Structure 1
């Protein structure tokens, strides 16, 4: 059904017509909710795409709090399954632990419809699955700003849906399992762009990119990367294998501090990415460039003090005390020390 809202010159009438449409149209009619038959999952294009996007050997399980690794064909027989490979994110999965999840997703949250709704028939709790048009690479081809953007959008969606903020997304309800009731919607098969999803999220209430404590969802990947990488930078002269050996226990220690840790293979991808970067990067050049940048900033702020430094050095060599030099040149003794005016060791 297509709603003709009339003239845009009268937004009040347009809004009243929309409310009338909402009141007289069921959720099923508005979003064409279609209940799937798990035995014939290959009849549904979104599930074919979902199967293709699964990891080659996903984590899966018949019960919570336990994981095993199986091939795709075996994994889809399990009740829970890993939705995304460690190196990229194809799907945002939201966990709603209350019986109004479907209503929140399709009516109250003002978000585009999810591609899949997977409901527990016993308590009506749901997993909402949103396909991304362009996968977000977590490492390798990854760009940190894209990962942070994804984490912030996910956080905003969780808040709007009243979803479980502690859900880690490692395992989700398997949409091909007959234990659950799964629905498809009118969501576009090609998926949503992050830019499109961001339009529905209030970015003002999201955590800032440099906020340290962000241990939810994809924020764990950002946090683990930021906590581990300084240890790699400090040992950048080491070999790749030595860095991996050094960083692995450090990353695992940080990961174990999360309420819901990342899978071990996800941690190893982060470690290898840091080690690869460190062994390929000339930090000497970057440090030199940083020093030159700092020097340029100081010059802009305080002016060129090259002549002052030379004068101070000559006065100090002539035996004049630092306090007197500082007074005559209009600087502090700390500045003179930074210029290199230090007592010689006997």
Structure 2
């Protein structure tokens, strides 16, 4: 099943070129993560394979005994590579994305949510760790691991999604791990910004506003057990600050509040009318059930 025509030199070139400039790396687990140049990090057993603000690879942490073929047993497509610990059979499976996923200030939150759903569905079907952060993985070029290169193929998210049932809603715990951190940081940050902008509208410059947003995003990120890299925090803060600053003004905010107030008033009136009707019980006078009364009223048969 191994793709024997994939030469190590060909893989090495692609792999090395797409590494971060200064990847996180480790000598052993548990241990300390180091930041080193590519030329040094490439020699370590554990390495960061996805650059900041970009996801090129989906990596799955599969700690079942002898788990090299978990993807095959689950009916999933071939990974780009599998790295296996020969001592206990535990593996990391890596899928290469045809279109790298952007997590910068230009990113689509909808695309990130979609990617997170695909990743979760694969982890669930494969039986791997759904909470794995993907920050650091077994280095496929290190002799400590048994590495198998299965295919040259890179996959689109849509193609990967064909092999699994995507969840309608992700578990709450996934909001603070993996790609869920990007979504959570963005969503919490933007809701805070919609309210906080009122205190900065009088400034002639957006400088103080940008500082405030950045501080808030850093605070949200610090709550994660494994925080996102600073580059992703900076990108998210920049995106939120720019969008909110350009679109919100005192006039716009007043209009939004007025609309919300009008909606709230309409709901209150409807609610008061409904409460009055329930207390008077007009269906009893008509000799019909409550359900029949409201059904006829909906059809316009009762005024």
TM-score range, shorter chain: 0.7 to 0.9
Structure 1 unaligned blocks of 5 or more: 1-27, 303-325, 331-346
Deviation of 1:149 after TM superposition, in Å, equals 0.4
**Is this contact kept in 1: 2:58–2:96, CA < 8 A?**
yes
| 2:284 counterpart residue number | none
Aligned position for 1:48: 13
SS in 2 for 1:101: coil
Give 1:70 deviation, angstroms.
Answer: 2.1
Q: How does 1:262-277 map to 2 (within 5 A)?
A: 262-277=228-243
Q: Cα gap change, 1:277/1:77 in structure 2, threshold over 3 Å: closer, same or farther?
A: farther
> Cα 1:285–1:80, aligned 2, differ >3 Å: closer, same or farther?
farther
Quick one: distance in 1 between partners of 2:244 and 2:138? 38
Q: Please give the alpha-carbon distance, in whole angstroms, between the structure 2 residues aligned to 1:281 and 1:130.
A: 39
Task: Note the residue ranges of structure 2 that are not aligned, 5 or more in a row.
Answer: 277-303
Give the distance between the partners of 2:101 and 2:246, measured in 1 at CA.
23
d(CA) in 1 for partners of 2:174 and 2:69?
31
Give the Cα separation in 1 of the matches to 2:218 and 2:206.
18
Kept in 2, the 8 Å contact 1:166–1:259? The answer is no
3-state SS in 2 of match to 1:254: helix
TM-score (norm 2): 0.74
Task: Give the 3-state SS of the residue equivalent to 2:94 in structure 1.
Answer: strand
Q: Distance in 2 between matches of 1:277 and 1:80?
A: 38
The match for 2:65 is 99
CA RMSD of aligned residues (A): 3.3
Query: What is the rounded CA distance, in whole Å, between the counterparts of 1:104 and 1:193 in structure 2?
Result: 21
The separation in 2 between residues aligned to 1:155 and 1:285, in whole angstroms, is: 43
The alignment partner of 2:178 has SS state of coil
Tell me what 2:141 maps to. 176
Instruction: Tell me the distance in 2 between the aligned counterparts of 1:168 and 1:33.
Output: 28
Aligned to 1:228: 189
Alignment pair present for 1:153 and 2:118: yes
- Aligned counterparts of 2:142 and 2:249: Cα–Cα separation in 1: 50
- For 2:251 and 2:111, locate their aligned partners in 1 and report how far apart those are by CA, in whole Å: 26
Q: 1:194 aligns with which of 157, 165, 183?
A: 157
1:285 deviates by: 7.1
Instruction: Give me the whole-angstrom Cα distance separating, in 1, the residues matched to 2:43 and 2:33.
Output: 14
CA contact (8 A) 2:25 2:46 kept: yes
Alpha carbons 1:115, 1:186 under 8 Å: kept = yes
In the aligned structure 1, how far is the partner of 2:84 from the partner of 2:5? 11
Alignment coverage as a number of residue pairs: 265
CA distance in 2: counterparts of 1:179 and 1:35, whole angstroms: 22
From 212, 217, 226, the equivalent of 2:178 is 217
1:255 aligns with 2:221: yes
Offset of 1:87 from its aligned partner? 1.3
> Aligned in 2, Cα 1:228/1:296: closer, same or farther, shift over 3 Å?
closer
- Check 1:79–1:289 CA distance in 2 against 1; reply closer, same or farther (3 A cut): farther
Conservation of the 8 A alpha-carbon contact between 1:81 and 1:173: yes
Q: Which has the larger radius of gyration?
A: 1
2:174 and 2:151 mapped to 1: Cα distance?
Answer: 36
TM-fit CA distance, 1:256: 3.5
Shift of 1:254: 2.8
Map of 2:294 onto structure 1: none
Contact residue 53 and residue 231 of structure 2 kept, 8 A = no
Distance 1:101 1:283 in 2: 56
Q: Following TM superposition, by how much is the alpha carbon of 1:249 offset from its aligned partner in structure 2, in angstroms?
A: 4.3
Deviation at 1:257, TM superposition (A): 3.1
Q: Is 1:207 aligned to 2:173, yes or no?
A: no
Confirm or deny: 8 A CA contact 2:121 2:167 kept in the other structure: no
